[in-house]
Chain A
Amino acid sequence: MLELRLVQGSLLKKVMESIKDLVNDANFDCSATGFSLQAMDSSHVALVSLLLRSEGFEHYRCDRNLSMGMNLGNMAKMLKCAGNDDIVTIKADDGGDCVTFMFESPNQDKIADFEMKLMDIDSEHLGIPETEYEAIVRMPSSEFARICKDLSTIGDTVLISVTKEGVRFSTKGDIGTANIVCRQNTSVDKPEEATIIEMETPVSLTFALRYMNSFTKATPLATQVTVSLSSELPVVVEYKIGEMGYLRFYLAPKIEE
């Protein structure tokens, strides 16, 4: 028996809108730790890792570890039917072939339940090693989204370089080139507008903008995004989900020519 009650149901709506176009089908894993997902895009270039810790739920019952295969597009369709202020409860029976999403309006005057068929998904779980990143950039998520969107109108790839000067996003295309440099800025009044750069070693990596733009669909989840880079390793683009967890996107770099 599984029953997870999330008062801030909009978080789950936002998570689904962020990943449904990147990943088609995925297993949601439920354990005492929390509700999690790890899945790759169909080209095996990007990996999504989601964790919603059990403590973040108002009610969390998971009698035994459960893996539920879901079509993310269909799950997103169902969650779209929940109001932004609704409480969302996820229910499933052990060994059952469906999951139920229950939506309750804040004043309890409307209760809806949507039942979705589960599917068998043969997915490979990857071990993500703990890494000390050479550079970690924390910046406003809206700013990061704007940069990725703007650069993708010029080129297909972005070269991200972190130096003492700051973080530089560069692209080139048929019509020309573009460079955007963001410097560390901790003097702003609001912490969510800060840009903080921690650099051990200068690092420079190239990534496909198509994927970066897809990751920025998670912008509504968090005011800040963390971009962690190490040479010869996938970049991690992380959006914190309130106090309860995170949505991380890993993207393999392009090979430098």
Chain B
Amino acid sequence: VNPQRQITSFFSKS
């Protein structure tokens, strides 16, 4: 099973 990344690791808090 491929681990799932989170969207928060790509886009930063603005």
Nearest Cβ distance between residue B9 and chain A, in whole angstroms? 7
Within 8 A of B (CB), among A125-141: 125-129
The 8 Å CB contact of B2, one of A126, A233, A251, A254, is A254
* Interface size, B (range): 10 to 19
CB-nearest residue of chain B relative to A46?
Answer: B7
A124-B13, A125-B14, A127-B13 given; A257·B7 CB < 8 A: no
Number of A positions contacting B (CB below 8 A): 25
A124 to B7, CA, bound (A): 12
Q: Which residues of B contact A (CB under 8 A)?
A: 2-14
A-B pairs, 10 with minimum CB distance = A127-B14, A254-B2, A126-B11, A252-B5, A255-B3, A44-B6, A252-B7, A47-B7, A124-B13, A44-B8
Q: Which residues of A contact B (CB under 8 A)?
A: 40, 43-47, 124-129, 157, 206, 208, 233-234, 250-257
Please list 28 pairs of residues, one from A and one from B, whose beta carbons are closer than 8 Å in the complex, sorted by A's number: A40-B7, A40-B8, A43-B4, A43-B6, A44-B7, A47-B7, A124-B13, A125-B13, A126-B7, A126-B8, A126-B12, A126-B13, A127-B11, A127-B12, A128-B11, A129-B11, A157-B2, A233-B10, A234-B11, A250-B11, A251-B7, A252-B6, A252-B7, A253-B5, A254-B4, A254-B5, A255-B5, A256-B2
